[in-house]
Structure 1
Amino acid sequence: MFFGIPQLSSPIETLVSVYVRLKNRHALESMRELRRQLLDKLKLASSTNPRTALKHVTDDLRVIEDGLERLGTRTD
């Protein structure tokens, strides 16, 4: 909460929470794989400065992996 106002979840946090509630491990694993592929491509990008995008994708991966942990799934 910030000054008594609840903070809004990011879209990825909301989606991960729904998939955890539904126990949809496959959807979370697919999301994680897509983010990993995107992260690899961003790391290879030389024509742009992907710093902001890298941070967002890394943050998304953290949220997805936290959701998988709540389901009791390994995150490798």
Structure 2
Amino acid sequence: MSHAIELIVDGYTRLKDRQSLEDLRMHRRRLAVDLKARTGFDCQLSIAQIEQDITAIEAGLQALSGPVGG
């Protein structure tokens, strides 16, 4: 996972900005779908990076869904 996505997710999580995290996850999902549909190019490394980004974003969303006061 890139350091940039870690910082972005950490910032949104600290701000408790669930909507921005969900928007970011949706954008990454659309990007992955677009890359998977490409023909003539090997996009596997980019797709793998995007999937790691999605995992990090989902971890941030899970942190926001954790126990209240935790």
Q: TM-score, normalised to structure 2's length?
A: 0.88
Runs of 4+ in structure 1 deviating by more than 3 angstroms, as ranges, are none
How far apart, CA to CA, are the structure 1 residues paired with 2:57 and 2:26?
A: 10
Paired residues, number: 65
More helix by proportion, 1 or 2? 2
Alignment of 1:41-52 (within 5 A): 41-52=34-45
Structure 2 unpaired stretches of 5+: none
Report SS of the residue matched to 2:41: coil
Counterpart of 1:69?
A: 62
* Aligned-residue RMSD, C-alpha: 1.3
User: Highest relative contact order (Cα 8 Å, sep 6+), 1 or 2?
Assistant: 2
Pair member with larger Rg? 1
Using the aligned pairs only, state the percent identity.
Answer: 35
